[in-house]
Amino acid sequence: MKTPLVLVTAGPTRERIDPVRFISNHSTGTFGYAIAQEARNRGCRVVLVTGPVSVKSPPGIKTIHIESAAEMQKAVLSWAGRADYVFMAAAVSDWRAVKPARTKIKKAGRRLLLELEENPDILKTLGKQRNYRLVGFALETARLEERAAEKLKSKNLDMIVANKLVKGSKLFGDNKIDVVIMDRYGSRCIYKSLSKGRLAKIILDKAFGFNIK
């Protein structure tokens, strides 16, 4: 049997406003890196497309460093055709500046209006025509299950891993979280207070349907 190729995305993207500033989010990349390492440990070939994080590139994994959503999309689409599994764990910035400034924007004692446009939805593009199993992630602040179910369907995913941003809790980084995992066949499982390493094992077990060695 051919060794499966697993494509994982992780971390935030950065959208440039000017040469010294960007829009981004708090993602640390922990979840995506845990999934990539677990897949490697199970004997898969792994390609990790990652935004800027402080985690070191894991050994035995082809790691591609990107900054913007456009760069992530390019790298992901160039590998997706060869992939057997895609895990889209990155926190892709939904917006980018319409016109990033070429030189540093100077303050002028008045409000600054920044015009933003939507980034492409990489996961949705991945769901359109595919020969791989596709797993998406969702972070919500309200109506978690309803919105996760909508994303599972509208992005044509096999599975979605959703967690809620609870006020006052540390969601990003290496801590224990609650998630709900839903698949396209109607299964719905809730996991409470698990590390991302433990969740990575559960997610791969479910996605693979069996353990690959």
Residues with catalytic roles = 25
Residue 88 Cβ vs ligand CTP, minimum distance, rounded to whole Å: 4
Q: Taking CB under 6 A as the rule, does residue 35 contact ligand CTP?
A: no
Give kind and range of the element (H or E) at residue 77.
helix 69-80
Tell me how far apart the alpha carbons of residues 193 and 84 are, in angstroms, rounded to a whole number.
29
* CB atoms closer than 10 angstroms to residue 112: 9
Q: Taking CB under 6 A as the rule, does residue 171 contact ligand CTP?
A: no
Q: Taking CB under 6 A as the rule, does residue 138 contact ligand CTP?
A: yes
Q: Taking CB under 6 A as the rule, does residue 94 contact ligand CTP?
A: yes
Closest CA to 84 of 3, 1, 9, 151: 3
Residue 43 phi/psi, 5-degree rounding, is 95, 10
Task: Write the interaction track for ligand CTP spanning residues 55-84; mark x where CB under 6 A is met and - where it is not.
Answer: --------------x---------------
Q: Taking CB under 6 A as the rule, does residue 119 contact ligand CTP?
A: yes
Integer CA distances (angstroms), 97 to 16, 81, 131, in order: 7, 30, 33
**Closer by beta carbon to ligand CTP, 104 or else 188:** 188
Among 34, 44, 80, 122, binds ligand CTP (CB under 6 A): 122
